[in-house]
Structures are given as structure tokens and as C-alpha cells.
Amino acid sequence: MSLLDAQSLTVRFGGDAVLEDVSLSLEPGEIVTVVGPNGSGKSTLLRALLGIQPLASGRITRKTGLRLGYVPQKLHIDRGLPLTVRRFLSLPHGHAAGEAARVLARVGMAGMEARQLVGLSGGQMQRVLLARALLARPELLILDEPTQGLDQPGEAAFYKLIEEVRTEMGCAILMVSHDLHVVMSASDRVICLNHHVCCQGTPHVVSNAPEYRALFGVGTRGALALYQHDHDHAHDHAHDHGHGPGHDTGHDPDHDRGQDHDHDPEHGHGARDHA
């Protein structure tokens, strides 16, 4: 059965729908990556699935007793708070010292128990956050742009670590990422989000789609391509949010090519119009 199943999630900030009719479900052991332009609701979706963000409507069903690990985008520790890595790992529930040492070693932070959290670099902090999430022995690990603020090698190393952890622990992973290479190489499934689910499928399927080629055709276009992708996206025409993943999940390359994803002057409004 699914670890987590979300049906028609809608989240509003004030009057604006940040998420509208988003449905998704996560199976044991799979890596699912959420991509989308800035402000498209990626973090909000993760926060909603974690139960942090109240829903305007929709329903989230978790497998009974689901063990969740959460790695936030970043964690700011007030300088007034003295906190060692060891103490942080034991919040809110304590663990045996050996257990903490084991996960710290796993994330490449062996012997760092006594270090103060405020003195850690960005990369070290992310590793500690991952270690804390792993202590819960998660069946589902949720990561919100875990490499934001890391340099290129640090980012690559962190994603490698996540993949190793998945292989060892067999947990499912849901993450938001900007690193398109990682998305395409490491994900079982990609979800394109722009307030609603634009499309989703395996990287292979997505990578054969015309819009994917527009997105990744030239490697150096990188994250910028995301915005263009969004801008070009024909799903937005008539703001038809009615088609959910049920419609999108099964689409194959041919089907995709058959659809009109080209620029349409009449329906030229993209994310910028309702951003």
C-alpha cells in the first residue's frame, strides 16, 4: 500500500491558491522529485504533506504508524542558544549514544557530537539535519531543497549521500530540487508543480517529451530553463486544473508529442500572469 496518499490538496495564503487540487501518492522505496519555478508551491506542498501547513481542502492519508524523516531547507539557530550536535539529535526524543554516533558517521560527521550547531558550515548543518531525520528510521524521507546554499561539489556529495542512504535503508524519498541533472539521474518519478500538478512521470518518459527537451536541450541553461518551461507550458491554457495525476501519470512520449504543447498566442499566459 502507499506510504502516503494526498487527495485534491488545496492551500490558500490569503485569497491566493498556492496549491490547487494537488493529488499524489508515494510508494515504498521510490524517489520522487518535485520541480517547478520559484513560488510554485513546492515547499508548501511538502509542508502540507508533513502536516505543518493547514489545508483549505483535501485529504492526506498516511500509512498507519508511518515513520517520517524531514530535512528542512535550512535551519537558523539563534546565537543565544547553546546547542551541541549530540543534544540536537536527541530532540525531541533521546537515542542511545551509539545510535547517534552511527548516523553521524553515516553522513560523514563522525566524532562531531560535541560541536556547537552555530559553528557549523552550511554543508555540515545539512548533514546534521539529515542525520537527525535518519535517527527516526524513516520509511519516508522528505527533503526540501536540501542543497540550497551549498557549492557544486558539496551539492553533488550531498545527493550522492542521499542516494546511498536510500539504497541502504530502502526508504522512500520525496524531495524538492533545483538540480536538474540530479532529478533526471536519480529520481524514479518527477512531478512538475506550478500550483497544480503540470505533469508527472518517470524521468525517461519526461525526458522524451518535447517540453523536457526545451528544458534540458542545452545543459548550460540550467535552472533558467525551468522558468521557460513554465512560460511555454500549454497546460495553463484556460486554467484547466481539472486534469489531475490520473490523467498525467500514464502519459507516454507519443501521447505527449500528440498534445499541443507549443506556444499558442491566444493562450499565452504563463506563471508570470498569475504569480
Residues that bind another protein in the complex, under the rule CB under 8 A = 47, 50-52, 68, 70, 72, 75, 77-78, 80-84, 87-88, 91-93, 114, 116, 132, 142
Q: How far is the CB of 52 from another protein (least distance, A)?
A: 4
Nearer to another protein, 31 or 68 (CB): 68
The torsion of the CA quartet 235, 241, 244, 245, rounded to 10 degrees, works out to 40
Q: How far is the CB of 59 from another protein (least distance, A)?
A: 18
Residue 223 grid cell: 535552472
Strands 16-26 and 4-13: antiparallel
Q: How far is the CB of 61 from another protein (least distance, A)?
A: 17
Q: How far is the CB of 122 from another protein (least distance, A)?
A: 16
Residue 27 grid cell: 510508494
Contacts of 12 (CB under 8 A, 6+ apart): 18, 56
Nearer to another protein, 89 or 192 (CB): 89
Contacts of 176 (CB under 8 A, 6+ apart): 33, 34, 35, 42, 43, 46, 143, 144, 145
Other C-beta atoms lying within 10 Å of the C-beta of residue 19 = 26
Nearer to another protein, 86 or 261 (CB): 86
Nearer to another protein, 60 or 75 (CB): 75
Q: Grid coordinates 530532540 are at which residue?
A: 91
Nearer to another protein, 81 or 238 (CB): 81
Q: How far is the CB of 228 from another protein (least distance, A)?
A: 31
d(CA 94, CA 37): 38
